[in-house]
Amino acid sequence: MARSPLSLRRSNARKKKRGRPATGGGAPLPPPVQALVMLLAFAVMVAFGAVLAQLTLQPSAASEALTHTNLRPGDTLRDYLGQPAFIDTVKQLGGNILLGLPFGLLLPVVAPRARGLLRVVVVTALVMLLVELVQGALVTGRAFDIDDVILNTTGALLGYVLLGRRLGRAVHPRRRHW
Protein backbone atom coordinates (compact mmCIF):
# COMPACT_ATOMS: atom_id res chain seq x y z
CA MET A 1 0.00 0.00 0.00
CA ALA A 2 1.39 3.41 -0.94
CA ARG A 3 1.98 5.97 1.78
CA SER A 4 0.65 9.46 1.51
CA PRO A 5 3.07 12.40 1.25
CA LEU A 6 1.90 13.62 4.66
CA SER A 7 2.71 10.31 6.36
CA LEU A 8 6.13 10.24 4.65
CA ARG A 9 6.89 13.74 5.98
CA ARG A 10 5.87 12.70 9.49
CA SER A 11 8.02 9.57 9.24
CA ASN A 12 11.01 11.63 8.09
CA ALA A 13 10.44 14.13 10.90
CA ARG A 14 10.45 11.27 13.46
CA LYS A 15 13.70 9.93 11.98
CA LYS A 16 15.31 13.36 12.28
CA LYS A 17 14.26 13.59 15.94
CA ARG A 18 15.94 10.25 16.59
CA GLY A 19 19.18 11.54 15.05
CA ARG A 20 18.95 9.54 11.82
CA PRO A 21 18.98 11.23 8.43
CA ALA A 22 15.59 11.31 6.75
CA THR A 23 17.04 10.34 3.36
CA GLY A 24 18.53 7.05 4.54
CA GLY A 25 22.22 6.19 4.59
CA GLY A 26 24.68 6.84 7.38
CA ALA A 27 25.58 9.94 9.27
CA PRO A 28 27.91 12.41 7.54
CA LEU A 29 31.60 12.08 8.26
CA PRO A 30 33.08 14.52 10.76
CA PRO A 31 34.93 17.36 8.94
CA PRO A 32 38.47 16.20 9.94
CA VAL A 33 37.77 12.68 8.70
CA GLN A 34 36.20 14.05 5.52
CA ALA A 35 39.29 16.20 4.88
CA LEU A 36 41.59 13.24 5.52
CA VAL A 37 39.65 11.01 3.10
CA MET A 38 39.69 13.73 0.45
CA LEU A 39 43.44 14.24 0.93
CA LEU A 40 44.07 10.51 0.64
CA ALA A 41 41.92 10.29 -2.50
CA PHE A 42 43.78 13.27 -3.96
CA ALA A 43 47.15 11.61 -3.24
CA VAL A 44 45.95 8.41 -4.94
CA MET A 45 44.72 10.49 -7.91
CA VAL A 46 48.13 12.19 -8.23
CA ALA A 47 49.89 8.81 -8.06
CA PHE A 48 47.49 7.50 -10.69
CA GLY A 49 48.26 10.52 -12.88
CA ALA A 50 51.97 9.72 -12.66
CA VAL A 51 51.34 6.09 -13.60
CA LEU A 52 49.03 7.17 -16.44
CA ALA A 53 51.71 9.52 -17.79
CA GLN A 54 54.34 6.79 -17.51
CA LEU A 55 52.18 4.27 -19.37
CA THR A 56 50.80 6.53 -22.09
CA LEU A 57 53.28 9.32 -22.72
CA GLN A 58 56.57 7.42 -22.93
CA PRO A 59 58.07 7.38 -26.44
CA SER A 60 58.24 4.01 -28.14
CA ALA A 61 60.57 4.19 -31.13
CA ALA A 62 60.31 0.42 -31.65
CA SER A 63 56.58 0.62 -32.36
CA GLU A 64 56.73 3.75 -34.53
CA ALA A 65 56.17 1.77 -37.76
CA LEU A 66 53.18 -0.05 -36.23
CA THR A 67 51.22 2.97 -35.05
CA HIS A 68 48.39 4.62 -36.94
CA THR A 69 45.81 7.21 -36.01
CA ASN A 70 42.27 5.93 -35.53
CA LEU A 71 39.43 8.42 -35.76
CA ARG A 72 36.68 5.90 -36.49
CA PRO A 73 35.08 4.39 -33.37
CA GLY A 74 35.22 0.62 -33.36
CA ASP A 75 38.09 0.07 -35.83
CA THR A 76 40.72 -0.74 -33.22
CA LEU A 77 38.19 -2.69 -31.16
CA ARG A 78 37.55 -4.95 -34.17
CA ASP A 79 41.31 -5.36 -34.60
CA TYR A 80 41.68 -6.34 -30.94
CA LEU A 81 38.83 -8.83 -31.14
CA GLY A 82 40.24 -10.30 -34.37
CA GLN A 83 43.61 -11.15 -32.82
CA PRO A 84 44.33 -14.87 -32.71
CA ALA A 85 45.80 -14.70 -29.20
CA PHE A 86 42.94 -14.14 -26.74
CA ILE A 87 45.36 -12.97 -24.03
CA ASP A 88 46.48 -10.05 -26.23
CA THR A 89 42.85 -8.98 -26.67
CA VAL A 90 42.26 -9.14 -22.92
CA LYS A 91 45.41 -7.11 -22.25
CA GLN A 92 44.46 -4.39 -24.71
CA LEU A 93 40.78 -4.08 -23.86
CA GLY A 94 41.15 -4.76 -20.12
CA GLY A 95 44.16 -2.48 -19.80
CA ASN A 96 42.33 0.45 -21.37
CA ILE A 97 39.25 -0.15 -19.21
CA LEU A 98 41.42 -0.38 -16.07
CA LEU A 99 43.09 2.94 -16.94
CA GLY A 100 39.72 4.67 -16.67
CA LEU A 101 38.55 2.92 -13.49
CA PRO A 102 40.29 5.29 -11.01
CA PHE A 103 38.45 8.26 -12.50
CA GLY A 104 35.10 6.68 -11.69
CA LEU A 105 36.22 5.79 -8.18
CA LEU A 106 38.10 8.92 -7.16
CA LEU A 107 36.48 11.86 -8.97
CA PRO A 108 33.33 11.78 -6.80
CA VAL A 109 35.52 11.87 -3.67
CA VAL A 110 38.08 14.46 -4.78
CA ALA A 111 35.71 16.79 -6.62
CA PRO A 112 32.16 16.72 -5.22
CA ARG A 113 30.91 18.90 -8.08
CA ALA A 114 32.06 16.19 -10.50
CA ARG A 115 29.78 13.71 -8.76
CA GLY A 116 27.16 12.18 -11.00
CA LEU A 117 27.28 9.65 -13.81
CA LEU A 118 27.21 12.15 -16.66
CA ARG A 119 29.81 14.44 -15.06
CA VAL A 120 32.24 11.58 -14.39
CA VAL A 121 31.86 10.35 -17.96
CA VAL A 122 32.38 13.83 -19.45
CA VAL A 123 35.41 14.69 -17.28
CA THR A 124 37.03 11.32 -17.99
CA ALA A 125 36.36 11.56 -21.73
CA LEU A 126 37.89 15.06 -21.83
CA VAL A 127 41.01 14.04 -19.87
CA MET A 128 41.53 10.91 -21.94
CA LEU A 129 40.92 12.85 -25.15
CA LEU A 130 43.66 15.25 -24.07
CA VAL A 131 46.02 12.33 -23.32
CA GLU A 132 45.33 10.83 -26.74
CA LEU A 133 45.86 14.19 -28.48
CA VAL A 134 49.22 14.62 -26.75
CA GLN A 135 50.16 11.05 -27.67
CA GLY A 136 49.30 11.59 -31.30
CA ALA A 137 50.96 14.98 -31.63
CA LEU A 138 54.03 14.83 -29.42
CA VAL A 139 55.05 11.28 -28.48
CA THR A 140 57.15 9.15 -30.83
CA GLY A 141 55.68 5.72 -31.47
CA ARG A 142 52.24 6.62 -30.10
CA ALA A 143 49.10 7.59 -32.01
CA PHE A 144 45.68 9.05 -31.34
CA ASP A 145 43.02 6.33 -31.00
CA ILE A 146 39.39 7.20 -30.32
CA ASP A 147 38.73 3.62 -29.18
CA ASP A 148 41.15 4.12 -26.28
CA VAL A 149 39.08 7.12 -25.18
CA ILE A 150 35.92 5.02 -25.39
CA LEU A 151 37.44 2.15 -23.39
CA ASN A 152 38.92 4.48 -20.76
CA THR A 153 35.58 6.22 -20.36
CA THR A 154 33.85 2.85 -20.06
CA GLY A 155 36.25 2.02 -17.22
CA ALA A 156 35.34 5.24 -15.43
CA LEU A 157 31.66 4.48 -15.92
CA LEU A 158 32.12 1.01 -14.39
CA GLY A 159 34.13 2.41 -11.49
CA TYR A 160 31.48 4.99 -10.75
CA VAL A 161 28.57 2.55 -10.96
CA LEU A 162 30.29 -0.19 -8.93
CA LEU A 163 31.76 1.90 -6.10
CA GLY A 164 32.48 5.55 -6.91
CA ARG A 165 28.91 6.71 -6.35
CA ARG A 166 28.84 5.19 -2.88
CA LEU A 167 32.27 6.57 -2.01
CA GLY A 168 31.28 10.05 -3.14
CA ARG A 169 28.10 9.97 -1.09
CA ALA A 170 29.91 8.63 1.97
CA VAL A 171 32.36 11.53 1.92
CA HIS A 172 29.98 14.20 0.59
CA PRO A 173 26.41 13.36 1.64
CA ARG A 174 23.55 14.98 -0.18
CA ARG A 175 22.37 18.21 1.33
CA ARG A 176 18.71 18.84 1.74
CA HIS A 177 17.79 22.30 0.50
CA TRP A 178 14.28 22.42 1.95
Q: Note the pLDDT tens digit of each residue in 33-42.
A: 888 998 999 9
Flag the least confident range among 8-22, 63-77, 112-126. 8-22
Q: Which residue has the higher pLDDT, 35 or 175?
A: 35
Which one, of 46, 156, 164, 49, lies nearest residue 105 by Cα?
164
- Of 5-9, 97-101, 153-157, the one with minimum mean pLDDT is 5-9
Can you give the pLDDT at residue 110? 92
pLDDT at residue 136 greater than cutoff 70? yes
Q: Which residues of 100-113 are buried (b: 16+ CB within 10 A; e: fewer)?
A: bbbbbbbbbbbbee
Long-range interactions of 18-21: CB distance < 8 A, separation 24+: 21/173
CA–CA gap between residue 115 and residue 174 (Å, rounded): 11
| 159: nearest Cα among 120, 112, 118, 101 | 101
